[in-house]
Structure 1
Amino acid sequence: MKHMYFGPGIDIGKKSEFWHGSLWTEFPLFGQEDIIISQVKYRTGSFIYYQSSIQKLGFLRSIQRDEENKIILKIQQLVFYEELPGIFKGISRQQRENSGEVWMLDENFITINPSSVLRKATVKLPYLNQSLTPGELNVKEIIYKYKNHWRIRDINMSYLHPAHYISTNNSPTSSLPVYKLFLDMYYDNFGTYRNVYHSLGGVYIQFGNMPANLRKLVKNHFVISFVPFGGSFDEFILPFVKELKEFEKGKVMSVQGQEAWVVAGLGVVTADLPQGNDLAGVLRHGVNKGCRTCSINKDLYTDRNQDLALLSRYKQITDLESVQINNEFTMSRKKQMSSEYGLRIKQ
């Protein structure tokens, strides 16, 4: 335990550990999820007004510490119509601003001190199915740069912030120490015999709370079990997932003879290319759209002129595509749409 890290994410120039990255800092299961400023609680994944040279509107992405161990807040900026690049200004967007629309800037996240926070803001995001009343602030488009040129895309083409789909429970008492475990699961198929290949699946976990020099040691790889010949990984992993879901809510456990509040979550899944695509619900890499992070045609993989922001796989969009596939009545049509989207047909 003494070599494991439990705490907020750290904003550092040379990143070498999980807690240096956005995955740790933004996930409520691993990093710091809230902060009290002037007796008001602010949570990651919420909107705030903050003081810069003028009052600004922002999205609180994470609560971190800098290299001097001072608390800082990472903010994604939102802009009003008058702050838009000239190329995007026009009558349509000007009228939409009158209805409360603002724009999210997917460029240059900034850090501020907690003392710069002024108050909470209410901003609605359509993909969260939030009801919108006239005049309420809302975001429908994201502004970003591609090859030094400003572009704009629909808000649905954005990765969900973890705070929008993960809820956590507080410790039953503030006196309990809190340990948040970052699990890194590895899955791989291998042959058990020299001359005859029978695929056996090995499932292992590591703790991302350990520094990299300790994670690489064999003694710190823990075997969960093996998927038997011809077995289904989905069926095999269900008990593990069920237990992990319970740990996400938190449990009071004895840690080195002292009661503590323990939370655990799956932070990273590592797998070889075929198994990784299977786990992500994407067709194998030989098909036209066999990349599990984007929908680029395989003939264009080496084309450097691809705008990944427009071609990435976003969960909310992929979920809709999967529903469309499975709502088809004939298998031939399901296969056609499966090939079109590069997604597996759910059994």
Structure 2
Amino acid sequence: MSGWEDHSDADDDGNSVFGEAPLPPANIQQVAEQIAQGLLNLDESMEPADDEFDNPDSYSVELPVEDSVPDEDFLPIGDAPPDDDPGLEMDAINGLETPLSRSEKLLYEDSFEYISPKNIVSRVEISMDYIFEGPVALDNAYVFNDKTHIRRILNMARKDIRPAAQSRPHIAELEIEAYGRAWIVDAFRDTFISLPMIIFMDAFGLFRNRYRSMMGIYMTTPAQCLRDRMKRSNNFVLSRMLDKGMILRINGENRFVIAPVLCFTGDMPQQNENSGILRPNAGKGCRSCLASIAQKGDLDFDTVALGRYHYSQKQIREYGDTLPPTAKKKYFQEWGMHENEPAIFKLTPALDIIQTRPGDPCHSEYNGQAKQSHNLLMRAILSKPGMRRYFQEFVQFPAPTGWSTRQSPLNHLQSWSLSEAGMASVLTPLIMSRMKLSENDITLNFFAAMRGKFREDTKTMKLTIPEILVHCFAMMAKSNAITCARKISEHLVRMQGASFSGVDSSTLGCAHVLLSLSG
């Protein structure tokens, strides 16, 4: 995303393609019939939906509740239903707690199509219902109108139908909710200047005294490269007026300028604070899902059905604010939330309070995956002879120019900094290859577990257990190199794709294997 100047919704002649006013991308749109026929396998029970150019929620499907449901009612042209699950749709329907109404529409999110604004005929008066089956029980006044609302989402990949409350709203939906449709339509009728921003927030200790901290807030434009964003002169103050947009006098002309905040960045504890979630060591301290401390190691945890979502979090907070003090405190603790919402909720009302607080890759990948996998290597994988050989190679292995000295993994692993853990994650597979990791370097229990797990791979692919182990650490190193790179290049993407064919080469797969085998 970068700053740009645009003539909003204009055709080649400079005229508005909508005739009178632009249509925000969060609306359900009616497209030209010939375009719709090309996008969807339409019949009387299927309607095209969102003109959301970068959002996968692209189709509204009106599902007839009959004894059988044709597969093609769910899928765009070119997609085929799963051959091994002919009853998928009915299984999903029969498993619903609240049955589908006869004319209910579903939002299909598996794929999306790009639709030109010129092909949009009008806005359809259909909106999303984020209250249905949310975290707070519905009151008696709740009424669902299947003609004007969509309350469920269809996902063929997951083979389920879930409430819209378990979805991420489009940023345009939140902008309309925060500032109003009339303001947006009027503001973007003419030319405008857009300067999106990224905000970094963190508390810094003064004089290395943890009891004296100062909150640092840096606001930069993502249009610049990382080197320019780091310069002090390119940091700005936060302004809610610019987030909404305002008229400024520029070079003698009145111009509409909008400088919205795209997201907030920071380390894991700070991002939890920015989302109104308790610290990571709390009972439910994950800002992305509702996993408890005991469930944090469960790599199969359903983060979709048990995830945190913008509107769900708002419903929880609105209900909790109505409770008396003691009950309120207990209620929010059970949900892993602070009693009082952060001030930035009011500064940036048009941002998703979950999605716009991304994880910090240095903390999650270096201090998390890299450090823990190295700890696993030293404590569970390497035998005593293997540990001695690894340590000798570790202290002698040459590092790239500019890399700092690394502390010993034998005695100082727990005190490694983020950078040390990151450097070690890259060097570990190289060191293991250089020392020619052998079967004697691996503990008997772990070797037996790996031989059972990869029995077919060792036979068909002629791979040894040490080679597979090195490959697992190599894939994690490649993932770290891409995730924490200053920029993503085609070379890095190709590098990530290189792997042993047939072996689970995903980072999650490698981590899952190592954790499960270590017990």
The TM-score, its normalising length taken from structure 1, stands at 0.69
SS of 2:59's equivalent in the other structure is strand
> Where is the helix percentage greater, Structure 1 or Structure 2?
2
Answering whether residue 49 of structure 2 is matched by residue 49 of structure 1, we say no
The answer on whether the counterparts of 2:290 and 2:307 sit within 8 Å (CA) in structure 1 is: yes
Deviation readout 1:16-46 (Å, 9 max, x if unpaired): xxxxxxxxxxxxxxx9789954647533111
Deviation readout 1:260-318 (Å, 9 max, x if unpaired): 21112222111222222222111111012111122122322232222222122112221
Rg comparison, structure with higher value: 2
The answer on whether the counterparts of 1:52 and 1:116 sit within 8 Å (CA) in structure 2 is: no
Amino acid corresponding to residue 202 of structure 2 in structure 1? D
- Give, in angstroms, the shift of residue 78 of structure 1: 1.6
Aligned to 2:334: 340
Answering whether residue 85 of structure 2 is matched by residue 76 of structure 1, we say no
The answer on whether the counterparts of 2:93 and 2:100 sit within 8 Å (CA) in structure 1 is: no
Aligned to 1:211: 224
- Give, in angstroms, the shift of residue 220 of structure 1: 5.0
Distance 1:42 1:74 in 2: 18
Distance 1:204 1:283 in 2: 23
The answer on whether the counterparts of 2:130 and 2:151 sit within 8 Å (CA) in structure 1 is: no
- Give, in angstroms, the shift of residue 174 of structure 1: 6.3
Answering whether residue 164 of structure 2 is matched by residue 155 of structure 1, we say yes
The answer on whether the counterparts of 1:144 and 1:150 sit within 8 Å (CA) in structure 2 is: yes
Match of 2:298 among 300, 303, 327: 303
Residue correspondence of structure 1 range 164-243 to structure 2 within 5 A: 164-166=173-175, 167=179, 168-169=183-184, 177-194=191-208, 198-208=212-222, 210-213=223-226, 215-222=228-235, 224=237, 240=238, 243=239
The answer on whether the counterparts of 1:192 and 1:199 sit within 8 Å (CA) in structure 2 is: yes
Distance 2:59 2:284 in 1: 33
Distance 1:199 1:344 in 2: 20
Aligned to 2:471: none
Aligned to 1:62: 52
Aligned to 2:350: none
The answer on whether the counterparts of 2:48 and 2:60 sit within 8 Å (CA) in structure 1 is: yes
The answer on whether the counterparts of 2:29 and 2:51 sit within 8 Å (CA) in structure 1 is: no
- In structure 1, runs of 5+ residues without a counterpart are 9-30, 65-72, 225-239
SS of 1:308's equivalent in the other structure is coil
Distance 2:144 2:314 in 1: 27
RMSD: 3.9
SS of 2:150's equivalent in the other structure is strand
- Aligned in 2, Cα 1:120/1:172: closer, same or farther, shift over 3 Å? closer
Answering whether residue 128 of structure 2 is matched by residue 125 of structure 1, we say yes
Distance 1:173 1:292 in 2: 34
The answer on whether the counterparts of 1:48 and 1:57 sit within 8 Å (CA) in structure 2 is: no
- Aligned in 2, Cα 1:92/1:137: closer, same or farther, shift over 3 Å? farther
Distance 1:45 1:254 in 2: 30
- Give, in angstroms, the shift of residue 104 of structure 1: 0.9
Aligned to 1:112: 115
Identity percentage of aligned residues: 17
Amino acid corresponding to residue 200 of structure 1 in structure 2? M
Distance 1:279 1:252 in 2: 29
Distance 2:325 2:146 in 1: 45
- Give, in angstroms, the shift of residue 97 of structure 1: 4.7
Aligned to 1:285: 280
Distance 2:10 2:322 in 1: 40
The answer on whether the counterparts of 1:282 and 1:291 sit within 8 Å (CA) in structure 2 is: yes
Amino acid corresponding to residue 106 of structure 1 in structure 2? E
Aligned to 2:153: 142
Amino acid corresponding to residue 319 of structure 1 in structure 2? K
The answer on whether the counterparts of 2:56 and 2:109 sit within 8 Å (CA) in structure 1 is: no
- Aligned in 2, Cα 1:75/1:139: closer, same or farther, shift over 3 Å? closer
Distance 1:135 1:201 in 2: 48
- Give, in angstroms, the shift of residue 257 of structure 1: 4.7
Deviation readout 1:233-257 (Å, 9 max, x if unpaired): xxxxxxx5xx41x224432213345
Q: Which has the higher contact order (CA 8 A, sep 6+)?
A: 1
Distance 2:117 2:172 in 1: 19
Match of 2:245 among 229, 250, 257: 250
- Give, in angstroms, the shift of residue 259 of structure 1: 3.2
Match of 1:87 among 66, 86, 91: 91
Distance 1:142 1:173 in 2: 31
- Aligned in 2, Cα 1:289/1:128: closer, same or farther, shift over 3 Å? closer
Amino acid corresponding to residue 48 of structure 2 in structure 1? G
Amino acid corresponding to residue 5 of structure 1 in structure 2? G
Match of 2:318 among 297, 317, 323: 323
Count of aligned pairs between the two proteins: 291
Distance 2:219 2:188 in 1: 30
Distance 1:171 1:119 in 2: 17
SS of 2:110's equivalent in the other structure is coil
Distance 2:285 2:96 in 1: 38
Amino acid corresponding to residue 77 of structure 1 in structure 2? Y
Aligned to 2:454: none
The answer on whether the counterparts of 2:9 and 2:117 sit within 8 Å (CA) in structure 1 is: no
The answer on whether the counterparts of 1:80 and 1:102 sit within 8 Å (CA) in structure 2 is: yes
> Where is the strand percentage greater, Structure 1 or Structure 2?
1
Answering whether residue 265 of structure 2 is matched by residue 265 of structure 1, we say no
Distance 2:188 2:324 in 1: 53
- In structure 2, runs of 5+ residues without a counterpart are 64-68, 75-88, 133-141, 342-519
Q: Which moved more, 1:280-289 or 1:177-186?
A: 177-186
Deviation readout 1:311-339 (Å, 9 max, x if unpaired): 221122212222333333242x3332222
- Give, in angstroms, the shift of residue 132 of structure 1: 7.1
- Give, in angstroms, the shift of residue 103 of structure 1: 0.8
